[in-house]
Amino acid sequence: MRAVEISQPGGPEVLKLAERPVPALKSDEVLIAVKAAGVNRPDCLQRQGAYPPPAGASDIPGLEVAGEIVALGDGVTRWSVGDRVCALVTGGGYAERCSAHQDSVLPVPDGFSMEEAAALPETYFTVWHNVFQRGGLQEGETFLVHGGTSGIGTTAIQLAKAFGATVFATAGSDKKCRACFEFGADHAINYRDEDFVQAVRTLTDGKGVNVILDMVGGDYIGRNYDAAAIEGRVVQIAFLNGRKAEADFSKLMMKRLFHTGSTLRARDSGFKGKLAAELKEKVWPLLTSRRVAPVMDSVIPFADVVEAHRRMEGSSHIGKIVLKISD
């Protein structure tokens, strides 16, 4: 099969198309003929040598795929050959064939293209776990997401709004702020022109927001404490501005804040299976009805994977970047 290899740690140009063996299936895995694969920030980090795959995972990048099941492990009971599916995987997505644990597989929502389906697993699993499970976002609460036009941001805005929250988002341009409004945000803050802490305080009459989803880190950590409401929850999923910061931790005590975080890739199949089951029950109906949907920035041919990573790292994209693997 054709697959993308990381020839050495470095920039996008180190990504090379190569021939690889088709993955051998474990008893609880399915083999997917990949039609499309999502491109995500962790893929770029892996390419740079900063995010190695977990033990036993494929060294081929790619954490989400959509396609058709073409083979089953001996112990698979939930799927059949020919099923149209999308899947969260620990690696191996940038390839013509990809194995996936049966419990991390979900059906392609009715009416969705394979490219749209490939844009679902990584962001929807991540947002559901971090915003609704760890962050405990409830109907009627206020929610702030940083990077509102990223794949995670566009998903978080739509899901938070669909479940009854008042949504705040930050973005780096007026154009991106307008896009946040289109996705359902109630308030969008251009962080280049305005202090998001002061804006949140003004818009909430000084109360702050109940839940914050942060992928920025750095000095945003302390500023999130300032923007959070009493008993607020701050959920950390990345550190684009750095893993270390100075912060006034007395605010954790005085405001009774909860600051947590998580990574998803290394979690076991049982955990991911429970997430998939909740998504199928609570979110997949919203997708089928198009109350929520992936925001598609671009679909890029497999052979142009270098360009896909350049676009991701250029940060001009709005929504998801997807590789088209085959028709």
> Within 13 A of 73's CA, how many CA atoms are on the CB side?
18
Confidence (pLDDT) at 327: 86
Residue 107 contacts residue 131 (beta carbons within 8 Å): no
DSSP string, 198-257: HHHHHHTTT--EEEEEES--TTHHHHHHHHEEEEEEEEE---TT-S-----THHHHHTT-
pTM, to two decimals: 0.96
Residue 10 amino acid letter: G
Token pair of 278, please?
């909740």
Cα–Cα distance between 297 and 281 in angstroms, integer?
27
CATH no. of 2-120+265-324: 3.90.180.10
Cα–Cα distance between 68 and 82 in angstroms, integer?
6
Token pair of 210, please?
């109940």
- Tokens 């470095």: give the residue: 10
Token pair of 177, please?
């702020």
Residues of the chain above pLDDT 90, percent: 98
Residue from 222, 168, 160, 228 nearest 194 by CA: 168
Residue 120 contacts residue 287 (beta carbons within 8 Å): yes
Pick the CATH number of 124-261 from 1.10.1510.10, 3.40.50.720, 3.90.180.10, 3.30.2290.10: 3.40.50.720
Sign of CA dihedral 108, 113, 114, 120: negative
SS3 of 97, please? strand
Cα–Cα distance between 88 and 57 in angstroms, integer?
13
Residue 211 contacts residue 204 (beta carbons within 8 Å): no
Confidence (pLDDT) at 309: 98
Cα–Cα distance between 88 and 106 in angstroms, integer?
9
**Domain range annotation of the chain:** 2-120+265-324, 124-261
User: pLDDT 10s digit of each residue in the chain, 327 long?
Assistant: 999 999 999 999 999 999 999 999 999 999 999 999 999 999 999 999 999 999 999 999 999 999 999 999 999 999 999 999 999 999 999 999 999 999 999 999 999 999 999 999 999 999 999 999 999 999 999 999 999 999 999 999 999 999 999 999 999 999 999 999 999 999 999 999 999 999 999 999 999 999 999 999 999 999 999 999 999 999 999 998 899 989 999 999 999 999 999 999 999 999 999 999 999 999 999 999 999 999 999 999 999 999 999 999 998 999 999 999 998
Token pair of 143, please?
């929610």
pLDDT in tens, 15-50: 999 999 999 999 999 999 999 999 999 999 999 999
Residue from 276, 237, 265, 239 nearest 55 by CA: 265
Angle at 218 between CA 216 and CA 223, to 5 degrees: 85
Residue from 274, 282, 284 nearest 109 by CA: 284
Same CATH topology for 2-120+265-324 and 124-261: the answer is: no
From first CA to last CA, the distance across the chain in angstroms is 15
